[in-house]
Amino acid sequence: MTNTSKTKRKFNVESIEEVSTPEGMSGDNWHRYIIGEGNSKIEGLRPGSLKNVTAHAQEYCDELNDRISRGGSTYSPRAKQK
């Protein structure tokens, strides 16, 4: 992957929907969010208002995109070892 293709890769919030409280969890007002880039999808569940869950999902996207722009995560098994 070249630097040019890395900068074009961008995760986005694809959807957020209200869901029932997951089994074993308490509270109400849960949401499922999906973050994606091409065929890569990340699904998360989070309690809170739509506004708060949207802000969380967008922050998550920003962090993923920042990691990509710096060359990936140090936790990636495909990362080059020094």
Q: What is the pTM of this model?
A: 0.73
Q: Is the pLDDT of residue 15 over 70?
A: yes
Cα angle, residue 54 at apex, residues 50 and 59 outer, rounded to 5°: 155
Q: Give the dihedral of Cα atoms 21, 27, 31, 34; nearest 10 deg.
A: -80
Q: Is the pLDDT of residue 6 over 70?
A: no
CA-nearest of 41, 47, 75 to 61 is: 41
Name the domain count of the chain: 1
CA-nearest of 32, 44, 40, 31 to 10 is: 40
Task: Tell me which residue range forms the domain holding 14.
Answer: 3-20+27-68
Question: Has residue 46 been placed in a domain?
Answer: yes
Question: Has residue 7 been placed in a domain?
Answer: yes
pLDDT tens by residue, 26-62 = 988 999 999 999 899 999 999 999 999 999 999 999 9
At 79 the pLDDT is 58
